Structure 1
Amino acid sequence: MKIEVWSDYVCPFCYIGKRRLEEAIQQLDFKSEIEIEFKSFELDPNAPKSYDANIHELIAKKYGITVNQAKANNTQIAAQAKSMGLIYDFEAMKPTNTFDAHRLAHYANAEGTQDKFSERLLRAYFTEGKDLSSYEVLASLAKEVGLDYDQAMKILNSDQYRDAVRRDESDARRLNISGVPYFVINGKYAISGAQPTAVFLQSLKQIRTDEVRVESEISGTSNNESKGICIDGQCNI
């Protein structure tokens, strides 16, 4: 089973959704058969590398609410994160452009350490208040998960993996993905949002059951004609 995950490193629900998915997978008896691949999605491709405003002020402006309301919403999000063992420090977060972080994540994927690097980027942003647009920060984080620092810097100072990021984003548009996290299973089923662990668990079990059933049936249709199913509001695409 392949799970493709469209997400952004400054999306608070992406980190929560990642952890809930992982928690669900650990409860599956076929977890060893699951492959996860993270896909690039920029919440704001035009975001600058630095802002004069803090995260609360930016959210207030984006959604047309007061700063106090934004702070209250962020407190609720932090509580959700804490329930999954994640510590969010909204006061330290540095909103930024994530394009280069996504480029380097493709390098990590090519080296077989994409999951570790994605996890490190998320913790660096949400917990440690690191600047994910800084080449020095990105290369250092890459080194922490076993990647080559000099190679990471070389990539960051070039256009390498630019097309890979744009290809992921083009695929997201083709699939009508307008928000993240967004999970596509076996290219046929979709789960949108940071759903509760129980929803991930039930959905993955049902998809597995359906896939096994389809494979065992004697049918006159080709694989390209097979259809997915809808599970608790998450349907095939």
Structure 2
Amino acid sequence: SVAPLFPESLTPKEGVVKKVHSEEKFGPQSEKNKSSNGHRGYDKQNALVEELHLGYFTQGKEFLVEAAKKVGIEGAAEFLDDPNKGVQEVYAELEKYSDHITGVPYYVINGKNKLSGGQPPEVFARAFRR
């Protein structure tokens, strides 16, 4: 199954402009693509997301339910009618599989020693010796 990722817990409820946020977080080159043909269409991806948001959130178009039906997703209308529907299940699954991870990167050494976040080399050395 696929669960949502909540990496930005400080994001305001009203959201942020994706391009501005990326530039603030990763620098002005974050939107530039120099790697490979595998990244073709990135500019169109942003345009599509903006168009979807504009249509749905500002113009009130109900094409999300239609799109969900088209690809065989049942219950989309009910889900959108109740924004809290399924939230508890998502959090329960996150709790079940997260192992109380609070930072990244996250390491489990020898199946027992757990390190969260960036650590100095001596902390890793100690964990390997245990």
TM-score normalized with structure 1 length: 0.32
**1:177 Cα shift?**
7.2
Q: Give the match for residue 65 of structure 2.
A: 139
Residues 58 and 152 of structure 1: is their aligned pair in 2 closer, same or farther, counting only changes over 3 Å?
Answer: same
The amino acid across from 1:155 in the alignment is F
In 1, the alpha carbon distance for the partners of 2:80 and 2:9 equals 17
Aligned pairs for 1:1-237 (under 5 A) are: 37-47=1-11, 48-51=13-16, 53-55=17-19, 57-63=20-26, 65=27, 67=28, 69-72=29-32, 75-76=33-34, 79=36, 82-83=37-38, 87-90=40-43, 93=46, 125=49, 130-131=52-53, 134=57, 136-148=62-74, 151-158=75-82, 159-174=84-99, 176=101, 178=103
- The structure, 1 or 2, with the larger RCO (C-alpha pairs under 8 Å, 6+ apart) is 1
The amino acid across from 1:146 in the alignment is G
Residues 166 and 138 of structure 1: is their aligned pair in 2 closer, same or farther, counting only changes over 3 Å?
Answer: farther
In 2, the alpha carbon distance for the partners of 1:92 and 1:177 equals 30
**1:43 Cα shift?**
2.6
Deviations 1:31-80 (A, max 9, x none): xxxxxx222222324534553x452x3112113x3x2x2233xx146x3x
Deviations 1:152-180 (A, max 9, x none): 1222221211112212332454262756x
Preserved CA contact (<8 Å) 1:41 1:169: no
The amino acid across from 2:7 in the alignment is L
Instruction: Give me the CA root mean square deviation.
Output: 3.8
For these two proteins, the number of residue pairs brought into alignment is 99
Residues 87 and 140 of structure 1: is their aligned pair in 2 closer, same or farther, counting only changes over 3 Å?
Answer: farther
Q: Which has the greater radius of gyration?
A: 2
Residues 43 and 155 of structure 1: is their aligned pair in 2 closer, same or farther, counting only changes over 3 Å?
Answer: same
Preserved CA contact (<8 Å) 1:139 1:152: yes
In 2, the alpha carbon distance for the partners of 1:70 and 1:39 equals 25
Percent identical among aligned pairs is 12
Q: Which runs of 5+ in 2 are unaligned?
A: 105-110, 112-130
Preserved CA contact (<8 Å) 1:60 1:70: yes
